[in-house]
Amino acid sequence: MKKIVVLFSGQGSNLAYILEHLRGKKLEVAAAITNNPEAGGIAHAKRHGVSVEVLDHREYSDRESFDRALVERIESYRPDLTVLAGFMRILTPVFTERVKAINLHPSLLPRHRGLHAIEKSWEDEHSEGGVTVHWVSSELDGGEVIVQYELEKEGFETFEEYDETIRRIEKEALVEGICDVLKCD
């Protein structure tokens, strides 16, 4: 059975979607790790019986120290893949050179790397937006694309409608990306 470790920072809706849609596909979520002791995703993991670890990045002197501790925790589970599912940390080579990981990003990369990607996508000159699942590399949101879902922006009257749709399709793209990498069908 293939094992993944999921990293998250917030409400954990992507984690919850993984847990609800990848069970029974020869895949085990070995652990969920968050950098935020207040993250809502902790409850999702516990409800599904998944081991949860909290590594508060504020307790470390610098990014490299945090990344070393994170890599150590991930490696203890011996996952086939690490999945960044709303993990809001810029990772250093301490992480990117040791961990096989994919990331979910709410824009059509290489457009709109980093924060506020949905807003930037909504406001740009392109007629389409979307989401990307990509390999994690030392370049922020710069790894090789695994899956992209595209949608036309003209059908949306408000940013809120667009944002809601992006957040829905990103979950589907992430599950597809995990299965593409791990052949979990």
CB 22 within 8 A of CB 178: yes
Residue 150 has pLDDT above 70, yes or no: yes
Residue 105 appears among annotated catalytic residues: yes
Beta carbons of 122 and 133 less than 8 angstroms apart: no
- C-alpha 185/C-alpha 173 separation (Å) is 15
For residues 164 and 155, what is the distance between their CA atoms, to the nearest angstrom?
A: 13
2-182: what fold? Rossmann fold (3.40.50)
Query: Can you point out the beta strands (E) in the chain?
Result: 2-8, 27-34, 52-54, 81-84, 101-105, 128-135, 145-152
CB atoms within 10 A of CB 79: 21
Q: What is the mean pLDDT of the chain?
A: 95
**Angstrom distance (rounded) from CA 32 to CA 109:** 26
Give per-residue pLDDT as tens, 80-123. 999 999 999 999 999 999 999 999 999 999 999 999 999 999 99
| pTM of the entire predicted model | 0.95
Band of the pLDDT at 185, cuts 50, 70, 90?
A: low
Q: pLDDT confidence of 23, banded at 50, 70, 90?
A: confident
From the candidates 44, 105, 112, 134, which is the catalytic residue? Answer: 105
Cα 62 to Cα 6, 58, 91: the distances in Å are: 22, 9, 11
Show the beta-strand stretches assigned E in 12-57.
27-34, 52-54
What are the residues whose beta carbons fall under 8 Å from the beta carbon of 42, sequence distance 6 or more? 12, 32, 34, 52, 54
Measure the CA–CA gap between 159 and 117, rounded to whole angstroms: 13
Helices and strands of the chain, counted as H and E runs: 6, 7
